[in-house]
Structure 1
Amino acid sequence: MGRGPRSTALAVAASLMLGSAPIAGPPAALASPTAEPTPFAAPDATAEPTDPVPSGDAGLPETSEEEESPGPAPGRRDTKQCPYRTTPPPAIDSSEVPAPGMPSPDPLPVPETSAGGPRMSDCDVVAARGFDVPEEVAATSWIVFDSGTGDVIAAKDPHGRYRPASIAKVLLALVVIEELPLDRTVTARHEDAAIEGSRAGILEGVEYDVEKLLLGLLMSSGNDAASALSGALGGREETLRKVNRKARELGASDTRIADFTGLDGPGQVTSAFDMALFYRAAFNDPTYERLSATALTEMPGDEEAGIEGFTMSNDNQLIASGFEGAMGGKTGFTDDARHTFVGFAARDGRRLGTVVLDTTVEEGHRAWQQSAALLDAGFATKRGSAIGDLDVPADGGGADGLGPEDMEDEVLGAPYDDVEGGPSTGDVAVVAGVAGLLLIGIGTWAVRTRRR
């Protein structure tokens, strides 16, 4: 597929302003015309932590969300006194510092009655009779639920507030599936291809259909795919409005999204219970379920630039491991969120889901392995056993008391120029696009190691 003339013009103009060579194409590692597609390789389900299944952006600086080096804040956190009921654990970097002149968002109010029923207000482990909590589960917060009935089988600090990392991408996916035709084409922009964090290997100037971008979003946790999709939805601000509105529609009381890619930002929080609501809705959508379970897909290259296409594999190791009944899920990691994971599986007519928040790999069990253990424990528990119900809403306070407009003010603050909307509209002056490229370039050069 050819490169768009507008992106080329913007790149040339930017190079003239910077006094450097034109910006053209993706990072150098992707530009190699001789790179071979990376084959799919499933890890052993019981293996010790290993490198993640490679994806199409092999050769790029390491951005995987499943890095297995020791995390920045090892150890299990004690939740018995509900220390994270209003705000998450302290950040270890500057990711949540507001932009100059912007106030820090106030914590979301806590509902008078917790969604899910009275036992969902507990902050330690609560479990139905017969559920044995696996020893390997080190996550600060988690939940096991029946997607069909809404029964909560077991949980730990289900309404504690934590950072989601990339499992937040489910909200963007739900909005896209609802609003955009899967066969609509989107031309990737420079700011999409050069975005910070994990990438699916999107190439500037190449056309992708919405379905392919969704696969990049869900299979490889591509922030580049998220950025391209946000452009099709109307830009950053509009996308944030839509994902926060979707969270409210699904009954969230603990969630505020400041970055739809899942990267940490001022005031961004969620809970295991809220994520259960989101993923229950997602796996009840046939399109989402199909895309999430995709093992391999072919990503296009750029013939004009001499870049070959490649095979992208699903980085959800619950699927790659051959876990019985695996349906899919989502990985996540930032330095502040630590490891997060969502896993779904179906057995004997039951569809169970798990959400794991704020965990590490120091004890030898990765987030997906903890999820697998929780799923096994859930399936071993008698049908109908429950200590909560996803269909019971919160009462009073919480994010449920904030309308979409309130959420926009909390998250976005004062309006600002929507850089992402520029080139996609076709009616913005080239100089504005160049300014956007310069700002994005500066942000890209200053990549912080926390963002993966």
Structure 2
Amino acid sequence: MGDRRLLSAALSAALALAPVPVEAPSPAASVPCPYASIPTIPPTPASPERDPGAPVVGGERMGTAGLAVPDGAPAPPTLSAMSWVVADLDTGEVLGACAPHLRRRPASVQKLLLAATVLPKLSPDQVVEATDADLDLPADSSAVGMIPGGHYPVSTLWYGLLLESGNDTANALARTAGGDGGVPATVAAMNAEAHRLGADDTHAVTPSGLDAPEQFTSAYDLALIAREDFDRPEFLKYDTAPTFQWPAQPPKDPKGFQIQNENKLLTEYAGAIGGKTGFTDEARHTYVGAAQRNGRRLVVTVMGAEVVPARAWKQGTMLLDWGFARPAGSAVGRLVTPEEAAALHKPSPAAATAAPAVAASGDPAAKASSGRTGPALALGGAGVALLGGAAFVFVRARRRYRVSS
């Protein structure tokens, strides 16, 4: 309560100092997403403000902070997810979305970007020797149970990554794929792959999705990344295996053990073709899943969910049901192709001419105005930005974050 009173006073002071806009156009009100009532939502990092001058990837309706559904469509289900997208994997049609470009921590759905980046680079038969660094993880982190000095084929590591969400296998795959550059080289490659796909809300810091400052993605970006993965038969082979026998590593592990697929969509939803679960305290529950019915392949991405009204994968099934009931062609946006992303990233002649002038000016104000807008104030899961000269005020909740993923 003390933090809330402090926040209220700070907001009042900031608003009192802010200049009063004259004839400022009021933005169109966004339609709020159907949101389940939750008594307590743990605080999570504030989502960065997007650059208002940047193009909205996927179409103008994807720029909403609220709900985007086709005109006349029935309301989507009421969920606790802060953002979500339902899209057609083949046509790229976005059938519906809630705050699709809201940037949040990814948790273990980040492993889908690792797969999209590294799967084509590594031979499944290559044998990797586990190191202590691979297992340098928080005590409560999700891990398969690699043993330092153990030897594991790359194919085995993919099963550990996608079935058991092993952060140790994520580190081993990233280290191996990075060559002399190790894990940092692979993280850089992950960011390059996100950029190639048009996933401009995404910035990877860890290969596994364990929380890190400045690590974000969005529901829209996750759909782009998932589309890349689901078009690869080798990814589907690893991602949909119900179980896998983890190999023995004598003498410490003379028998090995069985691991199970954690994605309940595969056993509980007709037509399921794969997906990935995720959770950290900073991300909350995240989920990506896909299913096929009547020749249509739909993907659902869910971010910032609680276990109300159901677990994240179950909320995904509710969105998939809603999406499959929508007729083809009733889209509110689209998943861009890499070619379309490249065109978006290509600077206009005017921008290319103006950019050197700003960089050479040496004017700190000019340089600041060319970047993103300032950070937002986090309050109860929502961002409040006091712009137009108002001061930014921050109240940081002190808590210990659990980092399992």
Q: Would you say same fold, with TM above 0.5?
A: yes
1:147 and 1:111 map into 2 onto residues whose CA distance is: 28
- Bigger CA radius of gyration: 2
CA RMSD of aligned residues (A): 2.8
Question: 2:323 aligns to what?
Answer: 378
2:183 and 2:111 map into 1 onto residues whose CA distance is: 14
Whether contact under 8 Å (2:241, 2:261) holds in the other structure is yes
Could you tell me the percent identity over the aligned residues? 38
Q: After superposition, where does 1:153-172 map in structure 2 within 5 Å?
A: 153-172=95-114
Paired residue type of 1:211 = S
2:333 and 2:404 map into 1 onto residues whose CA distance is: 34
1:174 aligns with 2:116: yes
Question: 1:365 aligns to what?
Answer: 310
- Structure 1 residues 194, 377: closer, same or farther in 2, change over 3 A? same
1:324 aligns with 2:266: no
Whether contact under 8 Å (1:107, 1:267) holds in the other structure is no
- Structure 1 residues 364, 92: closer, same or farther in 2, change over 3 A? closer
Cα offset, 1:220, TM superposition: 1.0
Cα offset, 1:348, TM superposition: 1.1
Cα offset, 1:193, TM superposition: 3.2
1:201 aligns with 2:111: no
Whether contact under 8 Å (2:273, 2:291) holds in the other structure is yes
Could you list the structure 1 runs, at least 4 aligned residues long, displaced by more than 3 angstroms after superposition: 79-82, 90-93, 106-111, 129-136, 392-398
- Structure 1 residues 111, 184: closer, same or farther in 2, change over 3 A? farther
Question: 2:156 aligns to what?
Answer: 212
- Structure 1 residues 327, 343: closer, same or farther in 2, change over 3 A? same
Q: After superposition, where does 1:408-423 map in structure 2 within 5 Å?
A: none
Whether contact under 8 Å (2:129, 2:151) holds in the other structure is yes
1:261 aligns with 2:208: yes
Cα offset, 1:112, TM superposition: 2.6
Q: After superposition, where does 1:73-222 map in structure 2 within 5 Å?
A: 80=30, 92=43, 109-110=51-52, 112-129=54-71, 131-196=73-138, 197-222=141-166
Give 3-state SS (helix, strand or coil) of 1:270's partner: coil
Paired residue type of 2:403 = R
TM norm structure 1: 0.64
Cα offset, 1:195, TM superposition: 2.3
Whether contact under 8 Å (2:103, 2:218) holds in the other structure is yes
TM norm structure 2: 0.71
Structure 1 residue ranges without an equivalent (≥5): 1-78, 83-89, 97-105, 402-446
Give 3-state SS (helix, strand or coil) of 2:251's partner: helix
Cα offset, 1:277, TM superposition: 0.5
Cα offset, 1:364, TM superposition: 3.4
Question: 2:220 aligns to what?
Answer: 273
Out of 317, 334, 339, the residue aligned to residue 389 of structure 1 is 334
1:450 and 1:181 map into 2 onto residues whose CA distance is: 31
Cα offset, 1:185, TM superposition: 0.6
Paired residue type of 1:346 = Q
- Structure 1 residues 134, 297: closer, same or farther in 2, change over 3 A? same
1:5-61 CA deviation, whole Å, 9 max, x = no partner? xxxxxxxxxxxxxxxxxxxxxxxxxxxxxxxxxxxxxxxxxxxxxxxxxxxxxxxxx
1:274 and 1:91 map into 2 onto residues whose CA distance is: 24
- Structure 1 residues 304, 111: closer, same or farther in 2, change over 3 A? farther
1:356 aligns with 2:280: no
Whether contact under 8 Å (1:130, 1:381) holds in the other structure is no
1:303-353 CA deviation, whole Å, 9 max, x = no partner? 2224421111100111132x1001111111111111000010011111000
1:351 and 1:113 map into 2 onto residues whose CA distance is: 27
1:309 and 1:243 map into 2 onto residues whose CA distance is: 31
Whether contact under 8 Å (2:151, 2:249) holds in the other structure is no
Q: After superposition, where does 1:217-228 map in structure 2 within 5 Å?
A: 217-228=161-172
Whether contact under 8 Å (2:77, 2:319) holds in the other structure is no
- Structure 1 residues 219, 184: closer, same or farther in 2, change over 3 A? same
2:123 and 2:88 map into 1 onto residues whose CA distance is: 30
Whether contact under 8 Å (1:253, 1:274) holds in the other structure is yes
2:60 and 2:112 map into 1 onto residues whose CA distance is: 27
2:311 and 2:156 map into 1 onto residues whose CA distance is: 28
Between Structure 1 and Structure 2, how many residues are aligned? 309
1:174 and 1:338 map into 2 onto residues whose CA distance is: 23
1:279 and 1:343 map into 2 onto residues whose CA distance is: 9
Q: After superposition, where does 1:15-54 map in structure 2 within 5 Å?
A: none
Give 3-state SS (helix, strand or coil) of 2:402's partner: coil
Out of 210, 226, 229, the residue aligned to residue 173 of structure 2 is 229
Whether contact under 8 Å (1:111, 1:395) holds in the other structure is no
2:103 and 2:195 map into 1 onto residues whose CA distance is: 16
Give 3-state SS (helix, strand or coil) of 1:218's partner: helix
1:141 and 1:256 map into 2 onto residues whose CA distance is: 17
